[in-house]
Structure 1
Amino acid sequence: MSDQASKSGAGLNRALITVSIMMATIMQTVDTTIANVALPNMQGSMSATSEQISWVLTSYIVAAAIMTPMTGFLSGRIGRKRLFLISVAGFTVTSVLCGLAVSLEQIVLFRLLQGIFGAGLVPLSQSVLLDTFPREKHGSAMALWGVGVMVGPIIGPTLGGYLTEYYNWRWVFFINLPVGILALVGMMLFVPETEKVRRRFDLFGFALLSLAIGALQLMLDRGQSLDWFSSAEIIVESMVAALCFYMFVAHMMTAREPFLEPGLFRDRNLLIGLVFIFILGVVLLATLALLPPFLQNLMGYPVITTGELLAPRGVGSMVSMLVVGRLVNRVDVRLLVGIGLGLTALSLFDMAQFNLNVAPADLIRTGIIQGLGLGLVFVPLSTITFSTLDPRYRTEGTAMYSLMRNIGSSIGISVMVALAARHTQTNHAVLGEQLTLFRDPVTAFMGEQGLGLARDQTLALLNQELTRQATTIGYLNDFRLMAWVTLAAIPLIIFFRTHKPELANTAKEEAEAVPAEA
């Protein structure tokens, strides 16, 4: 009876820990996209230009990217629980300050601080869950964690649209206050602390990695507006990123106590997992970056309707991850990852057949299929990536995992938006060559649209429609390219080493995991 009570108590404690950290995770992941739809309202409120208001997003992304690799070091130096509490408290306070900002300078500064505090929330939550649950339940733990990480960015635009439409853009930040307080109280009461590790801080290594990541993020964020490598700024940023990254790797391999230990990257499953999560980041957020302008600018949907059409993608991911969490220990995870990538590619090929008359039912159907596929990949991928990693590298490993997902997202969005713009120009030129007054469709269009209009106005309408069609083809080409990238990743699953936990030794392994990880 005492054993049963003990198990019941342990189960309750795990549940309370999970709820607490999941609130922090969802709060941070929703914030990566919730502010996007509110930018036009912020721009008017702050009397800013389009380029100036974009720094509200850029400052957050760059700060979070630079600080994410610091998670492992800070966790060992001050303790994982203390770092988690500081991160949640700082993120919540800076969210409120963002909502209270009255000038562009203030909101950019507060978003920068918000990115610094929020950088460690996702890797810390993943690390805590892996240590809290026994090894045979890591699949279920990663399913719960994946719901927050995958669904958060998807529901962000929908939630942001509702709050901006019916309340005020400031509420996209104020909404974090109650969630942050509940998460903070829960973690203070239930999350255990880890032992501290005395380790010298490699300032030179951290500076090199920060410069590389910061320069890369700035290049990706500003490349489209500056016409990429025709701009001296983009060339300088790319050279700084490449040089600093090369110097960081060389320093890491030769320094006595480097910022990131080389042993972290000797685990084959982790390396393959980092490649996969990079690709997943490209597909997930690049798709989410392309669909809203496609639906709003080309098809004329309002913001609220756009959010509602994107929501089924999150529902599909949530259902898939909760189901697959029970299958991870029964089915070869490589098979699950392969099926998930196949479904994701199938949905993207289907989206490549869209046109400007696509029915809402087709948008919802492809969204659900893609959500199911991404959810089917995410949980087994997270499980197998860390299944063979030494527990003492766990927090650093989860930090690199989050960093690669974010870099993949940044590169994916930048490349796909740039390709869509280039394809639009090319398609406009090619299609324009076919439009002459000797073609019956052109004559019919000008006859229908030109009633009561001057010839120049009719030609302007024709050019507007030509631009819409050329832009549509550009988006469809992006969807098709992402589909082929997803399919190309499937053969990599053979390099994963499967790991079957021995249930008899689970308790002993988990008891040793916490002190070893710290």
Structure 2
Amino acid sequence: MSAASTNPVAAADVAATPVEQRGLLTIAVMLATIMQILDTTIANVALPHMQTSLGATADTVTWVLTSYIVASAIAIPVTGWLADRFGSRNLFLAAVAGFVIASMLCGIATSLGEMVIFRVFQGIAAAFINPLSQTVMMDINPPSRQARAMAVWGMGIMVGPILGPVLGGWLTDNFNWRWCFYVNVPFGIITFAMMWLLLPAKPLRPRRFDIFGFALLALAVSCFQIMLDRGQQLDWFDSWEVRIEAGVALAAAWMFIVHMVTGKHPMFDRELFANRNMITALFFMVVIGVIMFATMALLPPMLQRIWDYPVIDAGLLLAPRGVGVLATMWVAGQLMGKVDPRWLVGTGMAIAALSLWEMTQWSLGMDYRWIVISGAIQGLGMGLVFMPLNLTAFATLDPKYRTEGASLLNLFRSIGASAGISVVTTFLARNVQTSHSDLVGHITPFSLPSIDPSASERLAGAGDAVMAAIDAEINRQALMIAYLDDFKMMAIVTMLAVPLVIFLRRPGKPADGPQHMMME
């Protein structure tokens, strides 16, 4: 009798889908993941150049970003059904091919209409890549290696949005904004070829498609995303458009929940929502989306508007976040199985909250070192959270639900990112006005002499020019206060999420049921 057969732990330590070239397949999967995640932020810095080239306005050019986000959010939920119906290998290959073709079309677009249509196609293809890549990384690795596999996958997910603005700025400055899309073509072809040769097929699991549930969810997500994108421009609920979008989103979401509970063949298996780890991870994913994407939406313009850093320098100052993520993801991979992952998740969230609180102490006169330090600390925190949270979410879940679970996690992270960006942008705009009003009330031609007795003589000679300079400085101060208020709000939200760890079960405990995951 073999040793493996007498050792139940060794016998259980087998990949769900064993492959011979696991290392090469991992490279191919990560290339697809990084290529897709970079496109969520790489085009942001090129928007002004696109606006001129495509003949768009400042308001309409944002649809280049919104169309991608909305299309991706709508398509993510059907990943599980498509993978079961047509095969995860076929869906993954089609997604990579579609993403490459759509990227090439975006690069040659000559009008805003064409760009929006091509970005919709790109967003649909991109929606399938993240859930499928996460599933493949778990399927091809035995339980003893899944912590390391999730660390590698998480590095691509977390570092991609940080590197996007840097790469996008460099390509735009040195070549053309179109290269933000063309850069995907050669890497995509290499990725497709490697996956065609190495990606294994999985058994099909045909099941009925819940067209009614999908229609409700798509309606809820799309209306919610459009409401978030349009809200600030239309002054939110003062606009009937925003009210209608919010009402439709709320009604469709409520009907979808009722349908999930009562339907005979719901879109997602109800087993997913009976799993406590998965449900808790979904709430964490919303917060992670807010921290990661809302912070990255605030910082580049802040560095350029407040301290006048060039685009490339602003991107480089954000890079320490990626270094922090890489460092603690490696540490978390080593600690999994030795330390309760709930402690890692809770500690990481607390560190991220601390970094955001430190950012509330920033000042106009500080140098770049505090930006680097705060970013590195935030990266350290997020690196501790992401990989243990993903492993814990799947630890008590039957492997056949992995693709559906991964699509839900990605959907909730996307919703958190969209909502977070919208909320912080709205608070920023309103707090700038409030802070400016408060400051102006204390600085007038009549109050200046009480602050500085010589002000009257200087004003008599310069007059309007001096007041214009003072107003410019007040605007700068008000903007800084508004940014600090946003950081404080995000710090509070992050800290309030820490107690959620008590709802997580520790992987490997008998109470978790027969599908518990063996940890290294």
Q: What TM-score results when the alignment is normalised by the length of structure 1? A: 0.93
What is the CA-CA distance between 1:201 and the residue it aligns to? 1.2
Whichever residue aligns with residue 74 of structure 1, its letter is: L
TM alignment of 1:439-518, pairs within 5 A: 439=448, 443=452, 453=462, 455-500=463-508
The 2-side partners of 1:291 and 1:464 are apart by 21
Query: 1:212 matched to which residue of 2?
Result: 220
Write the letter of the residue equivalent to 1:194. Answer: K
CA distance in 1, matches of 2:516, 2:507: 17
Using the TM superposition, give the Cα deviation of residue 106 of structure 1 relative to its aligned residue in structure 2, in angstroms: 1.0
The yes-or-no answer on 1:171 pairing with 2:166 is no
Q: CA deviation at 1:428?
A: 1.2
Question: RMSD over aligned Cα, in angstroms?
Answer: 2.5
Q: Is the 8 A contact 2:210 2:266 kept in 1?
A: yes
Could you tell me which amino acid in structure 2 is paired with residue 438 of structure 1? Answer: S
Q: Give the partner amino acid of 2:263.
A: A
The residue identity in structure 1 corresponding to 2:397 is L
Match of 1:229 among 220, 226, 237: 237
The aligned counterpart of 1:110 is 118
**What is residue 514 of structure 1 aligned with on the other side?**
none
Q: Which residue is 2:356 aligned to?
A: 348
1:103–1:327: structure 2 CA closer, same or farther, 3 Å change rule?
same
| Distance across 1 between alignment mates of 2:353 and 2:517 | 38
Shift of 1:445: 9.9
| Contact 1:446/1:458 (8 A) holds in 2 | no
Q: 1:175 offset after TM fit, Å?
A: 0.6
Q: Distance in 2 between matches of 1:351 and 1:106?
A: 40
**Residues 305 and 447 (structure 1), Cα distance of their counterparts in 2 relative to 1, 3 Å cut:** farther
Contact preservation (8 Å) 2:30, 2:153 = yes
* Aligned equivalent of 2:274, options 257, 261, 266: 266
- Mapping of residues 112-511 of structure 1, within 5 Å: 112-436=120-444, 437-439=446-448, 443=452, 453=462, 455-500=463-508
Please give the alpha-carbon distance, in whole angstroms, between the structure 2 residues aligned to 1:448 and 1:182.
71
Amino acid at match of 1:335: W
Deviations 1:54-93 (A, max 9, x none): 1100100000000000100000000001000000000011
Instruction: Please list every run of 5 or more consecutive structure 2 residues that lacks an aligned counterpart in the other structure.
Output: 5-13
Alpha-carbon spacing, 1:160–1:441, altered in 2? closer, same or farther (3 Å): farther
Name the counterpart of 2:31.
Answer: 23
The equivalent of 2:8 in structure 1 is none
Q: Quote how far apart the aligned CAs of 1:372 are.
A: 0.8
Distance 1:449 1:483 in 2: 43
Q: In the alignment, is the contact (CA less than 8 A) between 2:448 and 2:455 conserved in 1?
A: no
Identity level (%): 48
Paired with 1:508 and 1:424, the residues of 2 have a C-alpha distance of: 50
Once the two structures are superposed, residues 117-144 of structure 1 have per-residue CA deviations (whole angstroms, 9 ceiling, x without a partner) of: 1101001100111111111222111101
Instruction: Give me the whole-angstrom Cα distance separating, in 2, the residues matched to 1:445 and 1:57.
Output: 51
2:11 corresponds to: none
CA offsets, 1:449-475, max 9 Å, x none? 96974x223222212211111111010
C-alpha distance after superposition, 1:161-202 (max 9, x if no partner): 100011100010011012111211111111111111221111
Unaligned runs of 5+ in 1: 511-518
SS in 2 for 1:194: coil
Looking at structure 2, the residues matched to 48 and 111 of structure 1 have their Cα atoms a distance apart, in angstroms, of 15
Spell out the pairing of 1:41-56 with structure 2 (5 A cutoff).
Answer: 41-56=49-64
1:440 deviates by: 5.4
Mean Cα deviation higher: 51-60 or 442-451: 442-451
Task: Write the distance in 1 (CA, Å) between the matches of 2:178 and 2:492.
Answer: 40
Distance 2:95 2:56 in 1: 30
Q: CA deviation at 1:258?
A: 1.4
Summarize the Cα distance change of 1:158–1:440 in structure 2 as closer, same or farther, 3 Å threshold: farther
Deviation of 1:507 (Å):
13
Instruction: Tell me if the contact between 1:316 and 1:369 (Cα under 8 Å) persists in the aligned partners.
Output: yes
Contact 1:151 1:314 in 2 (8 A): yes
Contact persistence 1:134–1:507 (CA under 8 A): no
Residues 64-79 of structure 1 aligned to structure 2 (within 5 Å): 64-79=72-87
Which amino acid in structure 1 is aligned with residue 232 of structure 2?
A: Q
1:248–1:449: structure 2 CA closer, same or farther, 3 Å change rule?
Answer: farther
Distance 1:355 1:214 in 2: 39
Distance 1:444 1:121 in 2: 66
2:69 corresponds in structure 1 to: 61
Deviation for aligned residue 1:157: 0.3
- C-alpha separation in 2, matches of 1:357 and 1:480: 19
Other structure's SS at 1:69 match: helix
Cα displacement string for residues 207-256 of structure 1 (whole angstroms, at most 9, x for unaligned residues): 00000000000011111111111111110000010000111111111111
1:99–1:171 CA contact under 8 A, matched in 2: yes
Matching of residue 38 in structure 1 with residue 22 in structure 2: no
Q: Are the counterparts in 1 of residues 397 and 516 from structure 2 also a CA contact under 8 Å? A: no
Q: Structure 2 counterpart of 1:378, which letter?
A: F
Seen in structure 2, the aligned counterparts of structure 1 residues 300 and 446 have a Cα distance that, compared at 3 Å, is farther
2:517 and 2:442 mapped to 1: Cα distance?
A: 69
- Decide whether the 8 Å contact of 1:283 with 1:482 is kept in 2: yes
2:21 counterpart SS class: helix
How far does residue 439 in structure 1 lie from its aligned partner after superposition? 3.8
Q: Name whichever of 441-450 and 299-308 sits farther off.
A: 441-450
Alignment CA distance shift 1:451-1:356 (3 Å): farther
CA distance in 1: counterparts of 2:88 and 2:295, whole angstroms: 34
